[in-house]
Structure 1
Amino acid sequence: MKLQIAQRHQVKLRIGLSGPSGFGKTYSALLMAYGMTNDWKRIALIDTENNSASLYSHLGNFNVLPLSEPFTPERYIKAIQVCEEANMSVIIIDSISHEWQSKGGCLEIHENLGGRFQDWAKVTPRHNAFIDAIILSKCHVITTSRRKVDYSIDKGSDGKTKVSKLGMKEVTREGYEYELTVNFEFLNDNHLVSASKDRTGLFAGKQPEFIINSATGKRLIEWSNEGISFEEIKKEINSCTTDEGLKLIYSQYPYFSKELYPLIVARKETIDNPTNQIIPNEQIIQQPNPQKNEFSIK
């Protein structure tokens, strides 16, 4: 355990857009993604909304991955992996609500197991794996989620049952917002939003309600690119010569833990077994061996 100086490093954005159906979540997500990439071909949209993404094909040549039921966490994870393997820059998941409350989603999985409290022990790890796939993705990720009116049923002092309206609630497991860089809530069908969660400091409390456009994405990507880059961290690993130094580097950048782990392991192997290092081409002297008809290595 050791104190260290805090450093700002470049991050992958995790953006949430939530609102009732018809408020403009998909359209806004696409405009934001374009502002982040300036290249429609680097954007992939995982479409769970009955091919609704086709309504916005006039915007540009973005990629679409249709996802139909069953909406299990594993199928979402596979869709994210397909987008990553295609070297997309931004993944839009439209929407994540189906993973929680739709055919094959977590609530149905729990119900099919018996609907008991202890049955969540089998469902929660599957949902958490889906959340981890978003958090640890090498791409920027924008998710949309539906919001609906939430009610509570209580008994009054007179013993009568009373239904109370609590406001709007996201259709996904509680706590998802805390995993996000920024969460935008749609306020009306005029596409106005406000930031209910903002780690960037760009929106919450600094500007009134606004409409998301490509400029929003540009502001976000500029913020995410501040600080030390992943390539600079890789150079730091390759120049490290001790196990303690590798441990320190790994602990300094928890956001990149998934990407850094194999690099750290490979570098540790090189430090621990220097004789197994691959000799660079420039160190291979092409000089015939007098005893054998082959080149020798020095």
Structure 2
Amino acid sequence: MQLKQSKRQNVKLRLGISGASGFGKTYSALQLAYGLTGDWTKIAVIDTENSSVSLYSNLGTFNVLDLYSPYSPERYNEAIETCERAKMEVVIIDSITHEWSGTGGCLQIQEQLGGRFQDWAKVTPRHQAFIDKILSANCHIITTTRRKVDYSLDMGSNGRAKVVKHGTKEITREGFEYELTVNFEIVNDQHLAKVSKDRTGLFTGKPEFVINSATGKKLLQWCNIEPLSLKGIDTRIQECLSVSKLMELYKQYPNFQKSHQAQFQQKKVELEKLSNPNNFSKNGTSVNTQ
């Protein structure tokens, strides 16, 4: 056994996008994937949605693997392995809901075994093998998940009541999102998204937004940045020679934004003083600003 320092290298993202039907999960996943690769030919979609992904063929020449029932965990695993052998950089599983509640999925398998609680002892390992395959794949994985639909009567901007569709609980086994790097929830038919899980810190506390290729690029940049220690970020802050470089560092490491807010602010004030011509005399010597 040997201890070694942790490094962020060759990170493969596990991203989830969930939402009600019609909220734009597939399109958002494709945009996210393109941002991660910049090459449509390196993207594969495992399509369980009756070729609905073909609606977006105008975006680029991505690859599609049609997966039909039975939607057993083993067939999903076989589809992922097919994409791995083809050296795909991003695999979109659209969607994982069928593995749980579709024809031949885990719920139906348990029912066919007798529907008893003890029958889960045979089904759970099969489902876990599917989760393990997602986690161990040698490419980025994006999963889409349907959410149960609910409706509410809201007041529109014109003062009239209107029916609004909402996504509620994800239709997959509870706890799946905790396996993901980031889990995006698309909250309405305007395609606005928020995060329910975010290990990167890039989206936590941010306003709702529309997922696009820039989102994927931001995540790819995060993959390629070496994590800094507390001592390391202190050094990097002090080494900044301009406010623009300081802001670049601030945005690059969102996990330090709260803990080092005072250090960033102090350095910003110092740099602004240095760039202010009123703080220097005509012969170039510094003027005391205290």
TM-score (norm: length of structure 1): 0.68
In 1, Cα distance between equivalents of 2:199 and 2:89: 21
In 2, Cα distance between equivalents of 1:15 and 1:21: 19
Partner of 1:192 in structure 2?
A: 192
Partner of 2:56 in structure 1?
A: 56
Partner of 1:8 in structure 2?
A: 8
Partner of 2:213 in structure 1?
A: 214
**How far apart are residue 226 of structure 1 and its match?**
2.3
In 2, Cα distance between equivalents of 1:137 and 1:208: 31
CA deviation profile, 1:25-68 (whole Å, cap 9, x unmatched): 00000011001100000000000000001100000000000001
**How far apart are residue 2 of structure 1 and its match?**
7.5
**How far apart are residue 5 of structure 1 and its match?**
4.2
Q: Matches of residues 1-298 of structure 1 in structure 2 within 5 Å?
A: 5-149=5-149, 168-205=168-205, 207-227=206-226
Contact 1:10 / 1:226 at 8 angstroms: preserved in 2? no
**How far apart are residue 149 of structure 1 and its match?**
4.5
Contact 1:97 / 1:172 at 8 angstroms: preserved in 2? yes
In 2, Cα distance between equivalents of 1:226 and 1:72: 37
**How far apart are residue 218 of structure 1 and its match?**
0.4
CA deviation profile, 1:184-206 (whole Å, cap 9, x unmatched): 0011000000011000010011x
In 1, Cα distance between equivalents of 2:50 and 2:203: 32
Contact 1:10 / 1:227 at 8 angstroms: preserved in 2? no
Q: Amino acid of the residue matched to residue 113 of structure 2?
A: L
CA deviation profile, 1:158-205 (whole Å, cap 9, x unmatched): xxxxxxxxx811000011001000000011000000011000010011
Partner of 1:252 in structure 2?
A: none
Contact 2:20 / 2:149 at 8 angstroms: preserved in 1? no
TM-score (norm: length of structure 2): 0.70
Q: Which runs of 5+ in 1 are unaligned?
A: 151-166, 229-298
Contact 2:92 / 2:143 at 8 angstroms: preserved in 1? yes
Q: Amino acid of the residue matched to residue 192 of structure 1?
A: L
In 1, Cα distance between equivalents of 2:103 and 2:209: 34
Deviates more, 1:54-63 or 1:9-18: 9-18
3-state SS, counterpart of residue 138 of structure 1: coil
**How far apart are residue 3 of structure 1 and its match?**
6.5
Contact 2:8 / 2:224 at 8 angstroms: preserved in 1? no
In 2, Cα distance between equivalents of 1:47 and 1:10: 26
**How far apart are residue 208 of structure 1 and its match?**
0.3
Q: Amino acid of the residue matched to residue 225 of structure 1?
A: N
3-state SS, counterpart of residue 131 of structure 2: helix
In 1, Cα distance between equivalents of 2:6 and 2:37: 28
In 1, Cα distance between equivalents of 2:145 and 2:7: 32
Partner of 1:160 in structure 2?
A: none
In 2, Cα distance between equivalents of 1:149 and 1:53: 21
In 2, Cα distance between equivalents of 1:17 and 1:113: 31
CA deviation profile, 1:109-167 (whole Å, cap 9, x unmatched): 000000111100000000000001100000000000000058xxxxxxxxxxxxxxxx8
Q: Which runs of 5+ in 2 are unaligned?
A: 151-166, 228-290
**How far apart are residue 74 of structure 1 and its match?**
0.4
Q: Amino acid of the residue matched to residue 39 of structure 1?
A: D
Q: Amino acid of the residue matched to residue 218 of structure 2?
A: R
Report the RMSD for the aligned CA atoms in angstroms.
1.6
